[in-house]
Amino acid sequence: MLMVEHYAHTAENYKQAIKDLKGKFDDPSKAAKILINKIRSMPKASDNLKSIDDVFSQVDAYLKSLEALGKDMDGVDTLLGIILEKFPHSIGKHLYYEGLKINAPPLH
């Protein structure tokens, strides 16, 4: 983590690193905003499978972190829109239908 990796590995710096991390992440609401902003600032996946997989994996990790913070992921339409923008249109549309648990049109 960039915030603390510059500290030399000493007992005193360990205490400071913990203090810095708690200041940034001890507030679940603040941490959730940071994670949502990370999703928002992610580059859009290109049409190749590796790019789509990389973006999907990163979004999944952020969503799991949000859930761990106690963020209720049901009914978060704004976040869904942000996530769908990170994928090519055909993939985003399929993910949207999958999220709604209805039959999605086949991917072309």
> So where are the chain's domains?
11-100
Between 100 and 85, name the one with better pLDDT: 85
- With CA atoms as reference, report the closest residue to 90 among 67, 106, 71, 73: 106
Task: Reply yes or no on whether the pLDDT at 94 is more than 60.
Answer: yes
Between 38 and 97, name the one with better pLDDT: 38
As a whole number, the mean pLDDT across the chain is: 77
Lookup: tokens for 22: 């708690």
Q: Look up the pTM and report it.
A: 0.64
**How do residues 48-81 score in pLDDT, each as one tens digit?**
999 999 999 999 888 888 888 787 766 566 788 8
- With CA atoms as reference, report the closest residue to 83 among 51, 44, 46: 44
Distance CA 73, CA 67 (A): 7
